Amino acid sequence: MKTLTALALLLVAAAGHAETPQAITRQYADAAPAGFVPAARRGEALFRQNFAINDKMPSCTACHTDHPKNPGRHAVTGKTIRPLAVVANGERFSDPAKVEKWFGRNCREVVGRACTPGEKADFVAYMNEVR
């Protein structure tokens, strides 16, 4: 029994912490100022906004294309990026650590600062709802 429990714990640890896009949206919304309600419409605006800070990647669309259902292409390395839209890629927004890692890197590079919890909630809501 002990061995089974240990094995189960090991498997959970190896698989990482799986979540749904809805739960991840809610977690970010909870970290935003009181009364915040996520809006896919604002998430889309963030996705499309030209921040004009980084010549090679002025907006999220520079790598993720102008529609999240499309496979992207890294603006610097040329590597293919799988679609961000959940409807096109069921693995998206299921691993909170991965989501945080990429918001961290991409917001810093494109927006020039960390995205706020509210912006992240809006962005995930958009990626989950876009068809």
Q: Is 75 in the site for ligand HEC (CB under 6 A)?
A: yes
Q: In whole angstroms, how far apart are CA 97 and each of 17, 32, 102? A: 8, 18, 9
Q: Which of 85, 99, 121, 125 binds ligand HEC (CB under 6 A)?
A: 99
**Degrees, nearest 5: CA angle 6-12-120:** 150
> Given the rule CB under 6 A, which of 9-17, 29-37, 59-67 is the region that contacts ligand HEC?
59-67
C-alpha–C-alpha distance, residues 25 and 37, integer Å: 10
Q: Which of 29, 44, 85, 103 binds ligand HEC (CB under 6 A)?
A: 103
**Residue given tokens 């604002």 in the structure block:** 42
Q: Is 121 in the site for ligand HEC (CB under 6 A)?
A: no
Q: Is 86 in the site for ligand HEC (CB under 6 A)?
A: no
